[in-house]
Amino acid sequence: MDSAAVKNRKLGDWIAEVAAMCRPDSVYVCDGSKEEYDRMIGKLIAGGSATPLRKRAGSYLFRSDPSDVARVEDRTFLSTSSKDAAGYTNNWIAPDELKTTMKSLYEGCMKGRTMFVIPFSMGPIGSPISKIGVEISDSPYVVVNMHIMTRVGLKVMELLDRGEDFVPCLHSVGAPLAQGRKDVSWPCAPIERRYISHFPEENLVWSYGSGYAGNALLGKKSLGLRIASAMARREGWLAEHMLVLRMTSPEGRQYHIAGAFPSACGKTNLAMMQPSLDGWKCECIGDDIAWMKIGPDGRLHAINPENGFFGVAPGTSYATNPIAMDTIRENAIFTNCALTDDGDAWWEGINGDLPAHLIDWKGRDWTPDSKEDAAHPNARFTAAAAQCPVICKDWENPEGVPIDIFIFGGRRGSVVPLVHEAFSWEHGVFLGATSASETTSAIIGAVGNLRRDPFAMKPFCGYNICDYFQHWLTMGERLGDKAPKIFYVNWFRKNEDGKFLWPGFSENSRVLKWMCERVDGKLGARKSPIGLLPLEGDLDLSGLTLSPPDVRELMSVDAAEWKAEIPDIEAYLTSLGSRLPETLKSQLRDFIERLG
């Protein structure tokens, strides 16, 4: 589509402004069609960026520059009128300073390239919970991924033509091409010249220098969480780093569950879980982001604003997540995975026999004697949500699904029991605000350290995290007795020998069943200093071979261990600054008092 055909005046003016600054060779407005996708893939194959996978129909492998393999939190910025508005969990730069820096980088940055205009909807097109964005990018890799991860195309353009507002998202790989110069397979800028910048007061995203993941697919973390969370606070809704699933009982009762977990805590596995319990059924609505608004019934209704999955490949297998494996059998994009000799994607943890030879993610020969992994630890797959065998029939319901349960969690080898329920909404917010995980190789920091990640939103909250806590408290007041129940889980508790006490995966359905029965008032609970625990015999363990001592350890709450955590909790909350809500200070005092 020619940019001259754009009817939305704000969009037309913005396209002209960016083109004048970035000076591309041409401008192309995406229509979201299959023909367009295939044409982009053909361009990427011809340029040496994409490798067709013979073993997976319609699937392609990409290898990034070795310096451009993940989100770069230290190059991600939140630019607000005051530093205090951004808070202590964000990298802040004043708007004028940041824009001056980035405009100098954008000057002529698209020379030799096509400027793609990508109109997209986050959420079902026309849903009262959805938002429209437009990403301008000089990367065809971004175009094909945005085709999968968002709803791109003419239906979105029709809304824009009728005057619908949008969030401008500007992206460039930061690698202008001199006339006659051959392009590289993965253009990007040096790390120190990369900026992923957010201006939440203006609903604006500017990204420069990286072609990868959330740095470049600006509908995901940038609009989906950082900008959306700030919009949600202003407009009275929630934008959360949460999976959403539907669990249906043997009697046909439906429960909708939203869960927030930091990295390496099994979030995608839970979103696609197949219950081990007879008669129970789980369906996936979303694996990463939930947008939730209070509906006419006074309940919180959620949509998955994304259109696909951008999942971590290593560790994904038919043993850990068979549904994800079936989802990516065809029509998928793989990035920084290894390539088998018969033309398939491969990664560590995929199971099966170890290949005698591979081409690794850097394009080198690999054998079992090689010293480095064949796939990058953050290698990814991109696949449409509609391909998921257990996608819920209501996943695109424009009204969303009513949330019954919130789950927070972390990876803890000790201290935290398998499951406990918050005493109240305010206590649940305290649990979310103080949630923590022991760091693994997937989480930044020394392995084994305790990392506080409130609501799993620490890298993604688009404003002061203390104000975010207050927003949750305010939402609870608005919801009243229609607020979802809040629970906290820990699938990762270990025994003295360092072995996991809980089998996890499909067996996690047993914990979810207990939550559902608590929602219905079918089961009681025993009070502990940290929350409400299952009564003996209420957690369905039928068919499991857990020993009584292991069960007791899974559910144990040691006051002395929790007292030892108090200084760390106090120090963390203090580090967030003076805007911490009084309610959370009161919750901390109550917690200390309960510990005795």
Which residues are tagged catalytic?
265
Backbone angles phi, psi at 196, to 5 degrees: -120, 100
- Distance CA(548)–CA(336), nearest Å, equals 44
- Residues 214 and 263: their CA atoms lie apart, in Å, by 15
- CB count, 10 Å around CB of 543? 10
Sheet with strand 238-240: strands edge to edge: 238-240, 290-294, 300-303, 401-402
Rounded to 5°, the CA angle 553-555-559 comes to: 85
Q: What is the DSSP letter of 518?
A: H
Angle between helices 425-433 and 582-595 in degrees, nearest 10: 90
Contact 436, 492 (CB under 8 A): no
| 357-364 CB contacts, 8 Å cutoff, 24+ apart | 361/63, 361/336, 361/337, 362/63, 362/66, 363/63
CB 375 within 8 A of CB 348: yes
Handedness of CA 568, 572, 575, 580 (dihedral sign): negative
The secondary structure of residue 484, as a DSSP letter, is P
Is 210 in a helix, a strand, or coil?
A: coil
List the structure tokens of 386.
């509609």
DSSP for 98-137 reads: HHHHHHHHHTTTTTTSEEEEEEEEESSTT-TT-EEEEEEE
| CA-wise closest residue to 347 among 324, 327, 366, 373 | 373
Contact (Cβ atoms closer than 8 angstroms) between residue 291 and residue 237: yes
DSSP 295-349: -TTSSEEEE---SEEEEE-TT-STTT-HHHHHHTSSS-EEES-EEETTS-EE-TT
Describe the strand order of the beta sheet including 281-286 as a list of residue ranges: 281-286, 243-248, 254-260, 405-409, 485-489, 419-421, 531-533, 526-528
